[in-house]
Amino acid sequence: DIQMTQSPSSLSASVGDRVTITCRASQSIGSWLAWYQQKPGKAPKLLVHRASILESGVPSRFSGSGSETEFTLTISSLQTEDFATYYCQHYNNKFTFGPGTRVEIK
């Protein structure tokens, strides 16, 4: 089975900071990678699918890149509303999730 890892597991950042979260797959998954944002008590919100396709309505400060086994989610200038937990997901038929990265206010 494919395993997904994320780093860091948590980070503290300030408004305006550039933030990068890395997701690694245990074997090649092509571009079958999605990123989600989740806030407490809410369902996960899709930000990026197919590794780099930004979901409609998601601010352009979010971007996804990578392929095969290494992927990144970048927030170019962190805003207050971006403090949340972020998950990567391999989703070609069966799903596999990364453990999540919690982005906190410094």
Partner 1 sequence: QVHLVESGGGVVQPGRSLRLSCVGSAFTFSNYGFNWVRQAPGKGLEWVTFISSDGSNKEYADSVKGRFSISRDNSNNTLYLQIKTLRTEDTAVYYCARASFRPYWGQGTLVTVSS
Instruction: Calculate the alpha carbon distances from 76 to 70, 73, 83, 84, 91 in Å.
Output: 19, 10, 13, 15, 25
Question: What's the CA angle centered on 8, arms 7 and 9, to 5 degrees?
Answer: 105
Of 47 and 78, nearer to partner 1 (C-beta) is 47
Site string for partner 1, 60-89 (x = CB under 8 A): ---------------------------x-x
Of 53 and 105, nearer to partner 1 (C-beta) is 53
Tokens 């971007």 belong to which residue? Answer: 63
Residues that bind partner 1 (CB under 8 A): 34, 36, 38, 43-44, 46, 49-50, 53, 87, 89, 91-97, 99-100
